[in-house]
Structures are given as structure tokens and as C-alpha cells.
């Protein structure tokens, strides 16, 4: 079973904390990879939170092509950062030649564009880059979005950490929100895009468990939005549904739970909002999930989210201090990072809950 | 040399031959009394007897049972005679040399008519070649079918895409603003449409009782389609009408009474089903032989005692657009747009075009697409239609579902599939597989008759529903014959069968790890037949 973790803090944290969070949960590791998404960035990226950062792993040729595409679209690079690679022998990792983290200025044509127009441009550019690099496996586009940095690689999480020098805390690379997972969805091929967390248009999702309605979800999502592509992992569906509900339909976040795990009829019938819930249940029946899953997510405004399947067949625990909130699969990870917290305040969500961690770290428990 | 009339119908021409053992017979008369076709009769036979060589042979007359040899009274193999015989002295045996169909046409200059179902099963059953092969093992848990809570419900009625629901957000709570098409959540098995007339009123009543019991006592929201033969006015004015899907077909039989009852109806019906075609005899209208048009059938339908031949098409409806505008709008308007209106068509090579057109209908007025395959049953049909027209259900259901997927509109018009389900004994398995292939639910009619005691089968046994002489009292209006059916027992058997089906559906949902219906989850299915795998887009295994 995958172990997943999400950290949100008032302070900037180095990604080594994600490795440490997952270390004691390593019985869930299978050396298929390690990935993290950092949001609300500090360090060298803190000065330009409004500018998009391209997170990419590519060949030399792929890197050149990606930069050419962005240049042709009118983007101009303002900052570049590369991890300090440790070429130690014997590391279990399948590295790509280049890891690119570049910050870009928007094209001049978008100088006065609205936020929505800029975001549309970023989505289209990311899709274009991916499509171009997919042709000859020249690279992988993980995210192209403001204030977001993503790294994914195949191999042992510990060795990936060593390779990218992530065990050593540096002030350059830090963020207030870090989500991480130490294996891929290995039901299918081990490919970089199959590694959680998944990111789209400001939404981040990581999941454990099998999506038994993968085919239904995928069949429906494929025609819903241009960004719903790939499906290398059955868990990408959870991200796309979150994106669809909240960003496309603009429904409040609690309707995510109503969509993926609708209430049983006998409960719906007793409620005042039954007409709405029944319509959602019918209209979005193909976005329902029915497997054992815990879903952790980050919303574009920085709030964190946790929901479980309706049978509550996967574990998750939330531990917190005044400074930090951690959501992860097993409490051992939280014990390592927040040993002095009041563990009586730990939350073990139930099958009906949506947990929202607000930006002031208030934890809201909303019952379906 | 004896004269032989070779053109005369002979016992050996008939499909069934009655074997009779006079030594076992006690001459009780039960067999002849039970034979609704009058296919056997008592006769006196002259016998030459020899007691010993010392005595002269002598003649005596004895009573024996003889088979009648004519086109009207031939044995259908129903087996009632052997059921009632206390000594196993009589039984019907299949005649593999039969020439009945040739002889009938040659003698009568008419097409051969039958009831029941096609007896020419050259296709084989695709559903039997499919297994549920995606079993939850370790990556996700199988569910305990006996203890876990399952939800077997499916929408009936037009479903709008989420972005068409036009919710408004009031302080983070979504509210409905528009009047949306009616949509009900029902059990995924609908009792198929068999009319009062095609089946006896006692059988129809047994089904209606079973539907009410399943809903009100068992909590299983099964809906029953009335068929197009009218509905008892008492039922229309009762609360039970909410479990009934009223059918209208090209004959419009019984709708005068329905319209007259509307002001007094205290509940809306569960839905309206507009029957365009039927899988067992596609492209052919309804056929009710005069001998089944009993007095109460005349009254409820408002017709004289005559062969009732419905036209193969609804008069005035020659295109999908007209259907939508006239039939659907008027039917929706009849109940003030509160009742889902669905359409039933025979599966055909054209089904996808029809479904696509309905999906694109801007009025959002079609609430269900019932697709009826060729293995379905019928009260009466020309044998040529029954055996040689129609389209198998499985691939056509799949085609329709995938056509909707292609447009991102799956589920908007719920798909219901029927036609020969349960034919090989596993109705729940057939239903589950079709649901995985994209059906929202299934419907069945013939199976209900079999549950209630029909003795017919797919290989020519009985299938005499068209004669009005059903030996089980199911498809007859003969007062004596209908008495053979115990309404309460039939209703109880139907209820029991639904409970068993419910258990078995869960026994299939549990292993694939789903507590709600896996509609469109074809990854759960496998087949060892490459052609089936290829055609249905499911996994080939060997």
C-alpha cells in the first residue's frame, strides 16, 4: 500500500522533511520512485510568486526544444535553478540528463491579461510542451505554474534524496506546503508521469489505493477538459474530478466528496438538499469512486484537503502543532516530524469527512 | 396392397409424438382433461386377443388414449399429460423427423405463427462467453456480499450533464433554480412489458402484486412495465400506480381509460414507455389473436373481438424529430413533465443512430433507451419474424454505450437492455455483465413467465402462447386454464426470484470491490473468445 504525506506550515520547510516523514513508513516503498510538489515557495523563488515555474526532467535536446517553444510563445526566462546532483555510485535511480526549474516572465501580449487568461496560457503551454516532448520521450513536464515546483524520479526514495542532495537542508529550496509520495502507482508501467503527487492548474492530489472505477472515471473525463490526459495512473482521476468540480463547475469544495462518494439513498432522502444531491449523483455518476482510497490534495489558494472512500478502507491521520499540520498515511511519520505535538488532537478522519486545512492552519472537519 | 395417402398429415409429421402405455393406464381421464390443445383423446380400439393355442383368437374393444393428428390440435410437448398421470403411462416425446412447418405452410397457404421465443438459436450466447475476471485481490479488497452495504439503484429519466444543472451557489450551498427533467432512482431490473391480453389477467396481477410487495415490504424499488393492453382503473387510481411504467405502443390500446382516470390518479406513474419495436419480432407490430381477446380484454382496450394487429410503426411518426416533438412532448406534457418518458426499440444495426439522435435532442426529453434483443419473448408472432429477424443485444448495447462515451454523454439517457436474459439459467450474471458493458439496467418479461410456471423452452417445447391455450394459465384468457395459475404463489415466486437476483448481483459486485453498480466498468469482464473481446472491447484471456 502506498504511503502519502502532505505538510503545511507557517514556516518555510526544506523537502528533506518530506523524506523524513516518509522514512518510517518505508514498508510502503518499493523503489519505484519518489516525487514531491512544493507550493508557496520560499528561498530563491520567493521574490516572484506570480511568475510561472517550469518543472521538467528532460534530455538535452528536450530541454532545448521546450525552451524554444516557450520562447516562441513569448515567455522570457527570469530565473533558473538546478539541483546539486550527487553522482555517487550505486544509487538506485534512473536519472534523466537534465532537471530544469525555470521561472518565466509572461509574454508581453499578456501584460494586461487577467489571471484567468494567464492561467489559460500556462495550461495550453504545458500541454503543448508535454505533447512535443512525448513524441520521442525527450522529457517530462511536471508543472508550469506560479509558485509551484515539482520533482519526480524513478528509484529508491532514499537514493533519490541523496542524488538530488535533498537530505541536506539548504535555504534556496523551501516551501510552506510540501506533498510527497515514495512510490508510484505500480499497478501499471513505472513511468514518471504515474508518480504522485499529480498537479493541474494549481490543484495537487496524491492518493493511495486502487481506483476500481478507473475505467468509468477515465471514459468520462477524457472528454471533459483538455488537461485531463495521460491516465498513466488510475489515481489521476481523483485530481481531474477535483479540478472539474472546483475549477470548471466552480462548485464549493464540499461537493467533491458528494461527487466521488455520494451518500446512500436512504441518507439523501432525509436531507433538505436531497434534490441537489440526487442530481449530482445522477449527472456525475461516472466520477464516483468505489475503491479503497485516501485522497490528499492542495487547492490553488493553498488550503489542504483530505477525503476518504465511503468504506474507509485506507488509513490516514492528521497531526498538528500551532506551526505545522501534517496529513499522512501512518502516525509514525508524524511522530518523527512533530514528536512534541499534543497527539490527543490527532485526527483520524471517518468515511464521511472532508478535512480542510485553512491557510491559518485551522483544521475544519466537514461532515458529509 | 393398402392405399397410402402420402399428402395427408401423419403423426410422424408432427413435432411431438405422444407415447402411451395402455398397460399402465388406469383410464382416469386426467391426461385428456389436462390437455389444453385437445391433442389427445380417448378412443375405442379393436384388439385381436389370443389366450392360448387351444382357444380361438377373439376380438375385444378397449379404451386407449390416442394422439390427434391435425394442424389445430397437434401436441406441443407441454407435458401436462405426464404431469397429471398417476402411473407415468403417457408422455410427449420430441420427433426429430418432424415436417410440421413445411406441411402447415403447404396446407394452409399462410405463414406459421408461434408464441414464446425463437427456437432457432444459431448465434450462441455471447454473455455466456464472458466471465467476471477482474477480482479484487490485495490491491483492493473484495467486499463481503453478505455483510457489506450495497446500493443497487440506477437513474431512470433524463440526466443532464453537470454543467447544465444550473445550480446557484448560495453561501457555499448549491441550490436548484431550474425545473429539471424528471429523474427517478429505481432497481436496475425492470419487469418487462407484457400486456393484459398477451398474458392472463391472473399472471398480470401476480406481477403487479410482486412489484408492490418488493417495493413496500422488501424495500426493493422494482418497476413494472404494464405492456400496451390497458391498466385496471382501480390500479390507476391507487397508490400502487407509482410502481408502474405505463406503456404506449402503436395500437394505443387502453389509453382511453388511462386518460379518463388521470383526474382521479393520486400518484404519478413511475414512467411512460413508448414502444417502437420489440426484439423478438422487430419491425412487426403487436399481434393478439382473437381467441385471446376475452370480454374484459375488449373492455379494457376498447376493441371488438377480433385479431388485434398493431401497425409496425406509430402512425404519424416517421422520423426521430417527429417522435420527439409529438410523442415525447405530448407524453411528457400529459403528466406535466413530472414523469420520465422512455423509448423502447428493437436492437438493430441502426440503434446507435437512433440513440445518438435522442442524445442530441435539444429538449432533453427522452428519459431512457430500452434496447430489446432478438432472444426476447413474445405472445404471438410469425415464425419467420421470430426466427429470422432481429439483432443480438450484447454488442448493440455496447455500441450505444460507447457512442455515448465518444461524445462524453454516457448516462445522460439511461440504457436498459433486454432480450433473452436468464436464458441459460443465470439472470443475475447476464444483468451484471450488461451493466459492466454500459447498461444502466435490464428488463425481462419472459423470465417472469418462466418463474410463474411456463413450461416452454428454447428448443420448441410448448411455445404456444399465440393459441390462447397456455397449459400453465399464463398466456391465455380461458377461465379454466387461468385457474391453473395460483396468483399468490406466482407472485411469491417472482418476489423470491428478485430476492435471489439481488443476492447474486451482490455476489458479483463484492469480488470486483464495488458497492454501487459498476455501470460501464468493462474492465471487470474477460472472455476467451477473441472475436467477442475485439467486438466488445474487453480483455481477451486464454
Contacts of B514 in chain A (CB under 8 A): 212-213, 290
Round to whole Å and give the CA distance between A45 and A81.
9
Report phi then psi at B194, rounded to 5: -130, 125
pLDDT score of A185? 60
Q: Which of A331-355 are b and which e, b meaning 16 or more Cβ less than 10 Å from the residue's Cβ?
A: bbbbebbbeebeeeebbebeebbbb
The three-state secondary structure class of A220 is helix
Query: A257 CA to chain B: closest CA distance, Å?
Result: 14
- Binary contact (B139, A254; C-beta < 8 A): no
- Give the residues across from A319 on adjacent strands: A326
Longest dimension (CA), chain A: 63
pLDDT score of B449? 95
Among candidate residues B138, B137, B134, the one with its CA nearest the CA of residue B524: B134
Nearest CA in chain A to B151: A264
Grid cell locating B156: 431512470
Per DSSP, helices labelled H in B316-388 are 320-322, 329-334, 351-359, 383-388
Query: A218 CA to chain B: closest CA distance, Å?
Result: 10
- Binary contact (A250, B411; C-beta < 8 A): no
The gap from C-alpha B482 to its chain's centroid, in whole angstroms, comes to 19
Query: A283 CA to chain B: closest CA distance, Å?
Result: 5
- Binary contact (B520, A284; C-beta < 8 A): no
- Other C-beta atoms within 10 Å of A114: how many? 9
E strand or H helix at A68, and its extent? helix A60-73
pLDDT surpasses 70 at A143: yes
Say which of A223, A279, A286 has its CB closest to residue B520.
A286
The ipTM of this complex is 0.91
Delimit the domains of chain A by residue range. 4-367
Report DSSP state, residue B199: B
Among candidate residues A3, A6, A1, A2, the one with its CA nearest the CA of residue A297: A6
Chain A, 215 to 244: residues with Cβ < 8 Å from chain B are 215-216, 219-220, 222-224, 244
pLDDT score of B324? 66
- Binary contact (B141, A292; C-beta < 8 A): yes
Q: Select from A184, A216, A218 the residue whose CB has the most chain B CBs within 10 Å, as the one to mutate to test that interface.
A: A216
E strand or H helix at B92, and its extent? strand B90-94
Query: B226 CA to chain A: closest CA distance, Å?
Result: 26
pLDDT score of A328? 95
Say which of B140, B163, B185 has its CB closest to residue A278.
B185
| Interchain CB contact of A319 with B (< 8 Å) | no
Q: Select from B134, B162, B518, B525 the residue whose CB has the most chain A CBs within 10 Å, as the one to mutate to test that interface.
A: B162
Query: B145 CA to chain A: closest CA distance, Å?
Result: 14
Nearest CA in chain B to A293: B140
Nearest CA in chain B to A314: B140
CATH of domain B11-110: 3.30.70.20
Query: A209 CA to chain B: closest CA distance, Å?
Result: 7
Going along B122-276, which residue ranges are E strands? 130-132, 154-157, 168-170, 173-175, 183-186, 189-191, 224-225, 244-248, 271-275
- Binary contact (A251, B169; C-beta < 8 A): yes
- Binary contact (A212, B514; C-beta < 8 A): yes
Contacts of A311 in chain B (CB under 8 A): 143, 148, 515
Round to whole Å and give the CA distance between B519 and B438.
5
Query: A231 CA to chain B: closest CA distance, Å?
Result: 15
Contacts of B406 in chain A (CB under 8 A): 223
CATH of domain B127-540: 3.20.20.70
Contacts of A282 in chain B (CB under 8 A): 155, 159, 183, 185, 411
Say which of A214, A283, A311 has its CB closest to residue B161.
A283
pLDDT score of A186? 58
Round to whole Å and give the CA distance between A330 and B146.
30
The architecture of the domain spanning A4-367 is 4-Layer Sandwich (3.60)
Query: A21 CA to chain B: closest CA distance, Å?
Result: 23
| pLDDT tens for the 542 residues of chain B, in order | 567 888 899 999 999 999 999 999 999 999 999 999 999 999 999 999 888 888 888 999 999 999 999 999 999 999 999 999 999 999 999 999 999 999 999 999 999 998 888 888 766 799 999 999 999 887 777 888 888 889 999 999 999 999 999 999 999 999 999 889 999 999 999 998 999 999 999 999 999 999 999 999 999 999 999 999 899 999 999 999 999 999 998 888 999 999 999 999 999 999 999 998 898 888 888 888 888 999 999 999 989 999 888 888 776 666 767 766 777 778 888 898 999 999 999 999 999 999 999 998 888 889 999 999 998 888 888 899 989 999 999 999 999 999 999 999 999 999 999 999 998 889 999 999 999 999 999 999 999 999 999 999 988 999 999 999 999 999 999 999 999 999 999 999 999 999 999 999 999 999 999 999 999 999 999 999 999 999 999 999 99
Q: Establish whether the linkage from the previous residue to A197 is cis, with ω within 30° of 0.
A: yes
pLDDT surpasses 80 at A28: no
pLDDT tens profile A50-91: 999 999 999 999 999 999 999 999 999 999 998 888 988 898
Contacts of A212 in chain B (CB under 8 A): 136, 140, 512-514, 521
pLDDT tens profile A77-135: 999 998 888 988 898 888 899 999 999 999 999 999 999 999 999 999 999 999 999 99
Among candidate residues A302, A303, A329, the one with its CA nearest the CA of residue A318: A329
Round to whole Å and give the CA distance between B22 and B413.
62
pLDDT tens profile B103-122: 999 999 999 998 888 888 76
Query: B169 CA to chain A: closest CA distance, Å?
Result: 7
Contacts of B167 in chain A (CB under 8 A): 251, 276
Nearest CA in chain B to A185: B139
Nearest CA in chain A to B134: A212
> What DSSP line would sit under B422-472, residue for residue?
TTTS-HHHHHHHHHHTT-SEEEESHHHHHHHT----TTSS---GGGT--TT
Q: Which whole-number Å values give the CA distances from A298 to A40, A144, A146, A317, in the listed order?
A: 11, 16, 14, 16
Q: How confident is the model at residue A43 (pLDDT cuts 50, 70, 90)?
A: very high
Query: B143 CA to chain A: closest CA distance, Å?
Result: 10
Among candidate residues B326, B338, B405, B408, the one with its CA nearest the CA of residue B367: B338
Contacts of A313 in chain B (CB under 8 A): 140-141
What percent of chain A has a predicted confidence (pLDDT) above 70? 98
- Give the residues across from A306 on adjacent strands: A296, A355
- Other C-beta atoms within 10 Å of B242: how many? 18
Among candidate residues B506, B460, B413, B526, the one with its CA nearest the CA of residue B132: B526
Q: Which residues contact A15 (CB under 8 A, 6 or more apart)?
A: A36, A38, A151, A166, A173, A174, A175, A178, A180
Report phi then psi at B175, rounded to 5: -125, 145
Q: Select from B133, B134, B139 the residue whose CB has the most chain A CBs within 10 Å, as the one to mutate to test that interface.
A: B139
Nearest CA in chain A to B138: A1
- Binary contact (A248, B140; C-beta < 8 A): no
Say which of A209, A219, A291 has its CB closest to residue B520.
A219
Nearest CA in chain B to A215: B521
- Binary contact (B155, A282; C-beta < 8 A): yes
- Binary contact (B140, A313; C-beta < 8 A): yes
| Interchain CB contact of A267 with B (< 8 Å) | no
Inter-chain contacts counted by CB atoms under 8 A, chains A and B: 109
Delimit the domains of chain B by residue range. 11-110, 127-540
Contacts of B171 in chain A (CB under 8 A): none
Nearest CA in chain A to B514: A290
Enumerate chain B positions whose Cβ falls within 8 A of a Cβ in A: 136, 139-141, 143, 148-149, 151, 153, 155, 159-163, 165, 167, 169, 172-176, 180, 183, 185, 405-408, 410-411, 512-516, 518-523
pLDDT score of B1? 59
Amino acid at each position: 500500500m502506498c504511503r502519502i504525506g502532505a505538510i503545511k506550515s507557517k514556516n518555510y520547510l526544506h523537502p528533506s522533511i518530506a523524506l523524513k516523514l516518509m522514512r518510517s513508513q518505508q514498508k510502503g516503498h518499493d523503489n519505484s520512485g519518489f516525487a514531491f510538489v512544493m507550493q508557496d515557495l520560499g528561498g530563491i523563488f520567493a521574490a516572484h510568486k506570480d511568475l510561472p515555474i517550469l518543472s521538467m526532467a528532460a534530455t538535452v535536446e528536450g530541454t532545448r526544444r521546450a525552451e524554444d517553444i516557450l520562447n516562441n510563445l513569448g515567455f522570457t526566462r527570469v530565473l533558473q535553478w538546478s539541483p546539486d546532483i550527487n553522482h555517487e555510485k550505486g544509487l538506485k535511480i534512473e536519472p534523466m540528463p537534465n532537471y530544469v526549474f525555470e521561472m518565466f516572465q509572461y509574454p508581453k501580449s499578456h501584460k494586461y491579461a487577467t489571471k484567468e487568461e494567464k492561467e489559460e496560457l500556462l495550461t495550453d503551454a504545458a500541454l503543448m510542451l508535454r505533447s512535443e516532448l512525448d513524441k520521442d520521450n525527450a522529457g517530462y513536464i511536471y508543472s508550469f505554474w506560479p509558485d509551484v515546483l515539482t520533482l519526480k524520479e524513478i528509484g529508491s526514495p532514499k537514493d533519490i534524496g541523496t542524488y538530488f542532495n535533498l537530505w541536506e537542508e539548504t535555504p534556496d529550496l523551501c516551501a510552506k506546503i510540501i506533498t510527497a509520495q515514495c512510490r508510484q502507482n505500480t499497478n501499471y508501467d513505472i513511468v514518471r508521469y504515474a508518480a504522485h503527487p499529480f498537479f493541474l492548474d494549481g490543484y495537487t492530489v496524491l492518493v493511495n489505493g486502487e481506483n476500481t472505477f478507473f475505467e468509468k472515471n477515465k471514459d468520462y473525463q477524457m472528454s471533459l477538459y483538455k488537461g485531463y490526459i495521460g491516465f498513466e495512473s488510475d489515481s489521476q482521476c481523483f485530481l481531474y474530478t477535483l479540478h472539474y468540480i472546483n475549477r470548471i463547475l466552480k462548485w464549493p469544495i464540499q461537493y467533491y466528496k458528494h461527487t466521488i462518494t455520494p451518500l446512500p439513498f436512504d441518507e439523501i432522502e432525509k436531507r433538505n438538499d436531497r434534490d441537489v444531491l440526487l442530481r449530482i449523483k445522477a449527472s456525475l455518476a461516472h466520477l464516483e469512486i468505489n475503491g479503497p482510497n485516501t485522497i490528499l490534495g492542495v487547492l490553488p489558494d493553498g488550503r489542504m484537503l483530505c477525503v476518504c472512500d465511503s468504506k474507509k478502507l485506507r488509513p490516514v491521520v492528521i497531526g498538528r502543532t500551532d506551526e505545522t499540520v501534517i496529513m499522512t498515511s501512518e502516525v509514525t511519520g508524524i511522530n518523527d516530524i512533530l514528536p512534541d505535538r499534543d497527539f490527543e488532537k490527532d485526527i483520524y478522519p471517518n468515511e464521511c469527512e472532508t478535512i480542510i486545512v485553512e491557510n491559518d492552519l485551522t483544521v475544519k472537519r466537514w461532515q458529509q | 396392397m393398402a392405399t397410402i395417402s402420402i399428402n395427408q398429415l401423419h403423426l410422424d409429421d408432427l413435432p411431438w409424438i405422444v407415447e402411451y402405455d395402455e398397460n399402465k393406464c388406469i383410464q382416469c381421464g386426467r391426461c385428456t382433461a389436462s390437455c389444453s390443445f385437445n391433442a389427445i383423446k380417448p378412443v375405442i380400439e379393436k384388439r385381436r386377443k389370443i389366450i392360448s393355442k387351444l382357444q380361438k383368437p377373439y376380438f375385444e374393444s378397449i379404451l386407449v388414449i390416442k394422439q390427434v393428428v391435425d394442424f389445430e390440435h397437434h401436441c406441443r410437448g407441454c407435458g401436462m399429460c405426464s404431469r397429471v398421470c398417476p402411473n407415468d403411462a403417457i408422455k410427449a416425446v420430441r420427433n426429430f423427423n418432424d415436417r410440421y412447418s413445411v406441411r402447415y405452410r403447404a396446407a394452409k397457404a399462410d405463414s406459421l405463427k408461434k408464441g414464446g421465443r425463437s427456437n432457432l438459436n444459431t448465434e450462441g450466447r455471447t454473455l455466456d462467453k464472458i466471465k467476471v475476471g477482474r477480482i479484487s485481490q490485495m490491491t483492493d479488497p473484495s467486499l463481503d456480499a453478505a455483510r457489506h452495504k450495497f446500493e443497487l439503484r440506477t437513474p431512470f429519466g433524463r440526466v443532464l450533464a453537470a454543467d447544465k444543472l444550473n445550480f446557484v451557489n448560495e453561501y457555499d450551498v448549491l441550490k436548484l433554480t431550474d425545473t429539471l427533467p424528471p429523474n427517478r432512482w429505481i432497481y436496475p431490473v425492470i419487469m418487462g412489458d407484457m400486456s393484459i391480453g398477451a398474458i392472463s389477467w391472473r399472471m398480470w396481477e401476480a406481477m403487479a402484486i410482486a412489484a408492490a410487495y418488493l417495493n413496500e415490504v422488501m424495500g426493493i424499488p422494482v418497476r413494472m412495465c404494464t405492456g400496451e393492453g390497458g391498466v385496471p382503473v382501480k390500479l390507476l387510481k391507487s397508490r400502487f400506480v407509482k410502481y408502474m411504467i405505463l406503456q404506449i405502443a402503436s395500437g394505443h390500446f387502453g389509453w382511453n381509460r388511462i386518460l379518463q382516470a388521470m383526474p382521479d390518479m393520486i400518484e404519478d406513474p413511475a414512467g411512460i414507455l413508448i414502444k417502437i419495436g420489440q426484439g423478438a419480432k422487430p419491425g412487426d407490430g403487436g399481434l393478439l389473436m382473437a381467441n385471446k381477446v376475452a370480454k374484459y380484454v375488449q373492455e379494457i382496450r376498447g376493441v371488438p373481438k377480433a385479431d388485434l394487429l398493431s401497425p409496425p410503426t406509430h402512425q404519424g411518426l416517421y422520423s426521430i424529430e417527429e417522435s420527439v416533438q409529438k410523442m415525447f412532448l405530448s407524453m411528457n406534457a400529459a403528466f406535466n413533465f413530472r414523469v420520465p418518458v422512455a423509448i423502447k426499440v428493437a436492437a438493430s444495426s441502426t440503434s446507435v443512430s437512433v440513440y445518438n439522435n435522442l442524445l442530441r435532442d435539444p429538449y432533453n426529453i427522452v428519459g431512457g433507451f430500452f434496447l430489446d434483443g432478438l432472444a426476447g419473448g413474445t405472445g404471438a408472432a410469425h415464425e419467420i419474424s421470430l426466427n429470422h429477424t432481429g439483432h443480438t443485444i450484447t454488442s448493440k448495447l455496447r455500441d450505444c454505450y460507447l457512442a455515448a462515451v465518444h461524445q462524453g454523454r454516457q448516462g445522460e439517457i439511461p440504457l436498459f437492455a433486454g432480450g433473452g436474459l436468464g436464458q441459460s439459467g443465470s439472470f443475475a450474471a447476464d444483468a451484471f455483465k450488461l451493466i459492466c458493458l454500459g447498461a444502466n439496467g435490464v428488463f425481462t418479461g419472459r423470465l417472469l413467465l418462466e418463474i410463474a410456471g411456463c413450461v416452454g423452452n428454447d428448443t420448441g417445447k410448448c411455445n404456444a402462447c399465440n393459441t390462447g391455450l397456455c397449459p400453465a394459465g399464463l398466456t391465455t384468457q380461458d377461465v379454466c386454464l387461468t385457474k391453473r395459475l395460483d396468483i399468490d404463489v406466482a407472485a411469491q415466486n417472482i418476489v423470491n426470484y428478485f430476492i435471489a437476483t439481488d443476492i447474486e448481483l451482490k455476489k458479483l459486485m463484492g469480488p470486483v470491490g464495488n458497492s454501487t453498480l459498476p455501470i460501464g466498468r468493462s474492465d471487470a469482464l474477460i472472455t476467451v473468445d477473441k472475436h467477442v473481446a475485439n467486438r466488445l472491447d474487453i480483455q481477451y484471456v486464454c
